[in-house]
Amino acid sequence: MWEYTDKVKELFLKPKNAGELENPDAVGEVGSIVCGDALRLSLKVDKKTDRITDARFQTFGCASAIASSSALTELVKGKTLDEAAKITNRDIADFLGGLPDEKMHCSVMGMEALEDAIRKYRGKPEPVGPSENIVCKCFDVSEEKIRKTALENHLTTVDEITHYTKAGGGCGQCRHDIEEILKDLWASGVPEPKPPEKRKLTNLRKIGLIQEVLEKEIRPRLQADGGDVELVDVDRNRVTVGFRGMCVDCPMGNTTIRGIEERLTEVIGEEIQVVAE
Amino acid sequence: MKTLYLDNNATTRAAPEVVEEMLPYFTDLYGNPSSMHTFGGRVHRRIEEARERVAALIGAEADEIIFTSCGTESDNTALMSAVEAAPERRHVVTTKVEHPAVLNFCRNLGNRGYRVTLLPVDTLGRLEMDTLPGALDHDTAILSVMHANNETGVVFPVEEIGRLARLKGIVFHSDAVQAAGKIPIDVKRLPVDMLSFSGHKLHAPKGVGALYVRRGTRFHPYLIGGHQERGRRAGTENVPYIVGFGKACELAGKNLEQRMTAVSRLRDRLENELLARCPDAMVNGDRGNRLPNTTSISFRYVEGEAILLRLDEYGICASSGSACTSGSLQPSHVLRAMGVPYTAIHGSVRFSLSDYTTAEEIERVIRVVPPVIAELRELSPFGRETLNRRACGPGGEAG
């Protein structure tokens, strides 16, 4: 069974913006029933401002495909086409609080449907030409798509390419070709992974990260010494914690507070202040 | 929420009677059956009793049963033994729809230079019998054909297949993991040299299996070591599980015909109602010749993982042959071998019942599934033109 985040489950069980728009201004389509997932995205665009006023999706696919499609519609609504065009599969995955590696192709499918819709709206011709080199025949994946996805997501292994594009996930005969493409792509050395783009975290995501750091990193260390700490409140960048067990009245309390502060500041990417209740 | 378990071809609940018989062998009767003392000797006797019970389920003699750790080990052992026993033969024959325990073992042999013939099935999942005689030759080391298919439940004519193999002097193995305990098997009538089955498919716990090896069959052990299982499978016996397996086989053999009728009645009710209430649904497999507990139904234009996870919200457990549930990116090799169209293959759901399944549970599934399918179809971009049409059965397009 897949480990889906609560957000994926929520948008799968109660998808937002499902269905079709009447007289849509733009429609993007990607995937096929043979491949096992397909998405049809329809958009309403305000002609004066170029802003997307409404978005709907129809998806054939698994839980994460449906959730990714719903996430996509939530992300594009209210954006101008230029803003929407900057949305990457990573944004869709982040919106969902992450996807299992093997399901990243669902987020890529969302991005592609959006690209297709915007391109059609702007009246640009299909980029697919007869000269296009199809590498994976099982899932009809071109060399161009493999290169683009690898670059955008910093993928270096064939398995990663399979997770993101499905290429190589069928008969497996093209796995060697994918390896060659990756070798060529990263020939000049694999660049350091790009530092995650600075962006304002939603409050929910921020609290989630703070909880995660406390649960997974801080508490086990304190508990090992008979102490403990609990999250009491988060108010903007001020985090209130309560010491428990041996930590209560511990003379090192201040050092512990500074340690938590440093780590949270690092993870959240903003100045975090920690206080004891 | 109550779990409503209709995934008994994946695994079953250990019967309470089985667990009860097992318990003393963890704590009180923990002796090693190979030991010389009375304490160990008592355990040894219980293993031999279990062997008799397991043998009785398939009409075998006790000394024809080797205990293993699972169905996969039994399958691997049978294939390896046959290949090692006839090193001059470099050809193996099996079917396209076998369990991976057989299929991948044969593919491995293929990588080591063996010729591998995979026999095809027809659209109803039945073995294409006319391809069999030509596939067997003087170079064939083993023919391995499953007794019943795990996904569709289709039962293969192993008796006829075995006769053909015997005529040509070829070792015949059958993977009966899904069949044992669900339909009668009698190796006295069945011309099979080796037969694999597993505990956890018939209400014993996971971690124990058996391989039947007919007297006189040349046998090479897979696990090498001590003299356990008369030198045919080394390793200290998994005593509690073997005892439990024995009890489970005894229970599985009791009133088998009546139990088959009861479970097939529930299965048929489920199947007929779902077909009637869900447009564009079809059964995969030969409805006239199946295990009594299994149905594979394809709901066109929706995807299996999505169906399963929506059903999961109601506590209903089933499985699917869709790509997203197969662990690879391709859907079920069984349904593909049958030529099931892709519109249907991704939306396949297998319900597999057991003796514990109740009529109330089936009624609940009948109520829950149709709206789930309808909701997912509302989300799907495909099949809209047929949504309002109440039609069943296989249709046109191929994938």
* pLDDT in the model for residue A123: 87
The CATH number for A211's domain is 3.30.300.130
Q: In this model, does residue A131 exceed pLDDT 80?
A: no
- C-alpha B191/C-alpha B165 separation (Å) is 9
Residue (of B176, B168, B98) closest to B134 by Cα position: B168
Report the pLDDT averaged over residues B64-71: 98
In a domain, A129, yes or no: no
Indicate if B249 belongs to the active site: no
In a domain, A33, yes or no: yes
Same domain, A97 and A158: no
Pairwise pLDDT comparison (B49 vs A201), residue with the higher score: B49
Closest-CA residue in chain B for A4?
B309
Pairing of strands B171-175, B319-320: unpaired
10 Å Cβ neighbour count for A253? 14
Contact between B296 and B152 (Cβ < 8 Å): yes
In a domain, A197, yes or no: no
Q: How many domains does chain A have?
A: 3
Residues B193-210: tens digit of each pLDDT: 999 999 999 999 999 999
- C-alpha B142/C-alpha B146 separation (Å) is 13
Q: What is the dihedral sign for C-alpha A256, A259, A264, A270?
A: positive
Same domain, A27 and A80: yes
In a domain, A51, yes or no: yes
Whether A170 sits inside 8 A of B329 (CB atoms) is yes
Q: In this model, does residue A198 exceed pLDDT 60?
A: no
Whether A33 sits inside 8 A of B328 (CB atoms) is no
Task: Give B-chain residues touching A68 at CB under 8 angstroms.
Answer: none
Catalytic site residue from B70, B106, B317, B324: B324
Q: In this model, does residue B392 exceed pLDDT 60?
A: no
Q: In this model, does residue B53 exceed pLDDT 90?
A: yes
In a domain, A193, yes or no: no
- For the record, the structure tokens of A184 come out as 């060529």
Indicate if A174 belongs to the active site: no
Q: How many CA atoms lie within 13 A of B6 on its CB side?
A: 33
- Residue A151: which domain range? 134-185
* pLDDT in the model for residue B387: 41
The values of phi and psi at residue B307, to 5°, are -60, -50
Task: Give A-chain residues touching B322 at CB under 8 angstroms.
Answer: 36, 62
Q: What is the dihedral sign for C-alpha B275, B280, B286, B292?
A: negative
Question: What single-letter DSSP state applies at residue B280?
Answer: T
10 Å Cβ neighbour count for A132? 12
* pLDDT in the model for residue B6: 98
- For the record, the structure tokens of A224 come out as 């090992």
The CATH number for A146's domain is 1.10.10.1100
Same domain, A150 and A83: no
Closest-CA residue in chain B for A166?
B329
* pLDDT in the model for residue A187: 85
* pLDDT in the model for residue B326: 64
Measure Cα distances from A124 to A87, A117, A121, A127, B390 in Å: 19, 10, 8, 8, 41
Residue (of A186, A228, A223, A36) closest to B323 by Cα position: A36
Contact B346/A at CB under 8 A = yes
**Is B256-381 CATH 3.20.20.70?**
no
Residue A60: Cβ-neighbour burial (10 angstroms; 0-12, 13-18, 19+): buried
As a whole number, the mean pLDDT across chain B is 94
Contact A38/B at CB under 8 A = yes
If you search the block for the tokens 């999505």, which residue do you land on? Answer: B306
Q: In this model, does residue A219 exceed pLDDT 70?
A: yes
* pLDDT in the model for residue B396: 33
* pLDDT in the model for residue A88: 93
Residues B356-368: tens digit of each pLDDT: 999 999 999 999 9
In a domain, A196, yes or no: no
* pLDDT in the model for residue A199: 61
Determine the topology of domain B16-253 in CATH. Aspartate Aminotransferase; domain 2 (3.40.640)
Residues A73-110: tens digit of each pLDDT: 999 999 999 999 999 999 999 999 999 998 999 999 99
